[in-house]
Structure 1
Amino acid sequence: MRPKVSIIVPIYNMEMYLSRCLESLLAQTLYNIEIIVINDGSNDLSIKILREFELKDARIKVIDRPNDGVSSARNEGIRIATGEYIGFVDPDDWINPIMYEEMYNNAITENTDIVMCSYIREFGSHSKIKDFNLPNKVRYINEDVKINIMRRLIGPINHEIANPEFLDAWGTVWSKLYRTNLIVENNIKFLDLEKIGTNEDTLFNIEASYYAKSFLFINSPFYHYWRANSTSVTSRFKPKLINQWMYLFGYIEDFLKDKNMNNDYYLALNNRICLNTLGLGLNTITKDNDSSGFEKIRRIRMFLKEKRIKHSFKEFDLSQLPIIWRVFYFCAKNRFATGFYFMLICIEFLRKVIR
């Protein structure tokens, strides 16, 4: 019998968290699933743990291979998936027992290409639900999927700019269930992080939502996103990030041109580029970067002067932002590198205190 859902889990050195993740998958009330775990060249005890789980439950399929990155691992999972729908789970996270039954049933009942749920951020000492401030269910069909999902994934426009923290909240793949045919027939794949640096999830979802005929958001926090993992790749300094993001933005722009999208989508991309100076800044000041403060300010000045960023800020509407963010992005827009640097330090401190 064909599985209802294929769950793809890319793994690299996750021995600390792996059992918690896999136990939550095996506890799903939707029994007819396959769990495809790709051990991407781990050099810890991950493969030993996987083999033990593989013996415990035939629904677990272990792929052991040399390291080639998370995007390649997910693409391998897609290639061998046999389920009607595909879901993704990261190995340091876990999910509620009813997650895939609820999402699959909604997908079938409403004949939906993509189903998304909300999630809970787990900090070790406490939990925090990501509040999307939406009704229990929101459904989009046909062109509305592009207008309300794809465009939002590319970037915010108008009043949406006031909440820059929502920039990538819609872009995660682990909060979604995808009709397998949607992905396979349109050859949707994850791009190599060596090329784009980050945001492989968002890019995947931009393409998926372009081709999707229906999208359903369920305002239930089924997914537990672990934020206390200090070894996560998202916490490391990436010296090539500016060049990688320029490639990413160029890729999105080429996609928009190829699909003949209207000006709203280009405006959204410009706004993303401006808002992403926060990410470039936080990457620069991370404690993983052992450069001096002077060198960090020099690096900030360099990327604020980058041609693509300067051009995007010409159309960026600061008036939509709350006062603190307005000051922060005013520094970015006018290339006040020192002020931008000290505000970044304050933002990083507040992120750790308030979270």
Structure 2
Amino acid sequence: MKLSIVIPCYNMEKYLPVCLNSLLCQDIDPINYEIIIVNDESQDDTLLIAKTFAKKHNHIHVIDKKNAGVGAARNTGLNRSQGTYIYFLDPDDYLAKNVLGKLLTVIDRNHLDILTFKSKEVKDDSNYTSGNINTLSNEITIMDGISYIASNKYQNEVWWYFIRREFLIHTGIKFIEGKWMEDAILTAQLFCVAKKMAHLNLDAHRYRILPTSAMRNKSPEHYNKVIYDNANAAQEFVTLIQNIPQDHKYSQECVKRLKTRQQSFIFFLLVRLMKSDISTKKIPEMLTKFEEIDAYPLKQFLGVDYHGFGYSFMVFIFNNKPLINPFVRIFRTFYTLAK
């Protein structure tokens, strides 16, 4: 079997059919790929929908488990997978038609550990046609993961690349469970140890913009958890950065981009904190912890990846401790009035 597609699901009855139908409209034989739906104790008809699809299609399998979060669901799917390659897809997203064949051809022919591709933001389920599949060459530039990070503003999300399953298992790397930003951590960890990876400029994935998505959930409990999980992601990057081989040709460029990504966790944490109900009295303590891991001040955040007046202005505020608390208090006053 060539490919295992793992889909973690929690209360996705509205979007799962579109996701699954997109995977059934592909140019490879069902015998060559499996779809593993991991139901994370959904409270709606997600499980019923998944089982209905599985009854009609032998290569669709359903795992029903106790709720433990998306990281645990993905790990469960990985443990069940049988494919040469593995792909983690979110149930509210979908793929363009007939893209799996080209992706599998390129990753298999070149014996890659990881193959990345293009994603397009959409607001509905009508964008099934790839914009360049009929004109795109299979030619790619192969490099190791450290070189890839050094030369690309890579995306955190795990749904924009295929992984050779044997490589993933051999690394021992799994999704952190019970925390958000789990794929941002795993992506960087995998890239740093990949020996052969490449990008195929194929318009393949559809990222659905939802106001109700996990990262846009504004409930105080969830919002605050994302803030603290961003802090955890910054901490996880400490070991990652320290383990980059200093004798690698592009080690400095790689470390610089990883430091930028680490500081992006801090930056967006502080942006979220402005809109949260977390006491401003906690900010100095948080900043001290970030200083201890050399993730604050935000000295390496601005650059080719993040630039412009908005970013520059906020970094100026965030890097000046005496300004942060009064700025946050003023912002919260106007933010509350504007609601």
TM-score by length of 1: 0.76
Distance in 2 (CA, whole Å) between partners of 1:123 and 1:341 is 34
CA deviation map 1:104-160 (0-9, x unaligned): 011122222211111111134998xxxxxxx97652323xx21322x578xxxxxxx
Assess, with a 3 A threshold, how the Cα gap between structure 1 residues 317 and 260 changes in structure 2: closer, same or farther: closer
Assess, with a 3 A threshold, how the Cα gap between structure 1 residues 22 and 125 changes in structure 2: closer, same or farther: closer
Determine whether 1:276 maps to 2:265.
yes
- Superposed counterparts of 1:336-351, under 5 Å: 336-337=323-324, 338-339=326-327
CA deviation map 1:144-195 (0-9, x unaligned): x21322x578xxxxxxxxxxxx6xx522211111111111112221011x3x
Percent pairwise identity: 22
Determine whether 1:257 maps to 2:259.
no
Task: Report the 3-state secondary structure (helix = DSSP H, G, I; strand = E; otherwise coil) of the residue aligned with 1:239.
Answer: helix
Determine whether 1:49 maps to 2:32.
no
Distance in 2 (CA, whole Å) between partners of 1:189 and 1:339 is 39
Task: Report the 3-state secondary structure (helix = DSSP H, G, I; strand = E; otherwise coil) of the residue aligned with 1:104.
Answer: helix
Determine whether 1:201 maps to 2:172.
no
In the TM superposition, residue 66 of structure 1 has moved relative to its aligned partner by 1.0
In the TM superposition, residue 297 of structure 1 has moved relative to its aligned partner by 5.7
Assess, with a 3 A threshold, how the Cα gap between structure 1 residues 85 and 313 changes in structure 2: closer, same or farther: same
Distance in 1 (CA, whole Å) between partners of 2:187 and 2:293 is 27
Assess, with a 3 A threshold, how the Cα gap between structure 1 residues 345 and 54 changes in structure 2: closer, same or farther: farther
Task: Report the 3-state secondary structure (helix = DSSP H, G, I; strand = E; otherwise coil) of the residue aligned with 1:64.
Answer: strand
Assess, with a 3 A threshold, how the Cα gap between structure 1 residues 98 and 252 changes in structure 2: closer, same or farther: same
Distance in 2 (CA, whole Å) between partners of 1:25 and 1:319 is 39
2:15 alignment partner in structure 1: 17
Larger mean Cα displacement after TM superposition, 269-278 or 61-70:
269-278
Distance in 2 (CA, whole Å) between partners of 1:228 and 1:85 is 29
- Structure 2: 5+ residue stretches without partners: 128-135
In the TM superposition, residue 69 of structure 1 has moved relative to its aligned partner by 1.1
In the TM superposition, residue 83 of structure 1 has moved relative to its aligned partner by 0.7
- Of the candidates 157, 161, 180, which is equivalent to residue 172 of structure 1? 157
- Superposed counterparts of 1:66-85, under 5 Å: 66-85=66-85
Distance in 1 (CA, whole Å) between partners of 2:202 and 2:255 is 32
- Superposed counterparts of 1:116-155, under 5 Å: 116-124=116-124, 138-142=140-144, 145-149=145-149
Distance in 2 (CA, whole Å) between partners of 1:250 and 1:170 is 19
In the TM superposition, residue 269 of structure 1 has moved relative to its aligned partner by 4.2
1:326 alignment partner in structure 2: 312
Assess, with a 3 A threshold, how the Cα gap between structure 1 residues 317 and 92 changes in structure 2: closer, same or farther: closer
CA deviation map 1:254-274 (0-9, x unaligned): 233345555555544443343
CA contact (8 A) 1:138 1:217 kept: yes
1:184 alignment partner in structure 2: 169
Assess, with a 3 A threshold, how the Cα gap between structure 1 residues 85 and 270 changes in structure 2: closer, same or farther: closer
- Of the candidates 281, 296, 299, which is equivalent to residue 316 of structure 1? 299
- Structure 1: 5+ residue stretches without partners: 128-134, 154-165, 348-355
Task: Report the 3-state secondary structure (helix = DSSP H, G, I; strand = E; otherwise coil) of the residue aligned with 2:223.
Answer: coil
Distance in 1 (CA, whole Å) between partners of 2:17 and 2:125 is 20
Larger mean Cα displacement after TM superposition, 262-271 or 59-68:
262-271
Assess, with a 3 A threshold, how the Cα gap between structure 1 residues 310 and 185 changes in structure 2: closer, same or farther: closer
Distance in 1 (CA, whole Å) between partners of 2:298 and 2:7 is 40
**Residue identity in the other structure for 2:291:** R
Task: Report the 3-state secondary structure (helix = DSSP H, G, I; strand = E; otherwise coil) of the residue aligned with 1:238.
Answer: helix
Distance in 2 (CA, whole Å) between partners of 1:252 and 1:318 is 14
**Residue identity in the other structure for 1:183:** L
1:8 alignment partner in structure 2: 6
CA contact (8 A) 1:35 1:60 kept: yes
1:220 alignment partner in structure 2: 202
Distance in 2 (CA, whole Å) between partners of 1:183 and 1:60 is 22
CA RMSD of aligned residues (A): 3.3
Task: Report the 3-state secondary structure (helix = DSSP H, G, I; strand = E; otherwise coil) of the residue aligned with 1:174.
Answer: helix
Distance in 1 (CA, whole Å) between partners of 2:140 and 2:330 is 40
Task: Report the 3-state secondary structure (helix = DSSP H, G, I; strand = E; otherwise coil) of the residue aligned with 1:28.
Answer: coil
Q: How many residues align?
A: 312
TM-score by length of 2: 0.79
1:158 alignment partner in structure 2: none
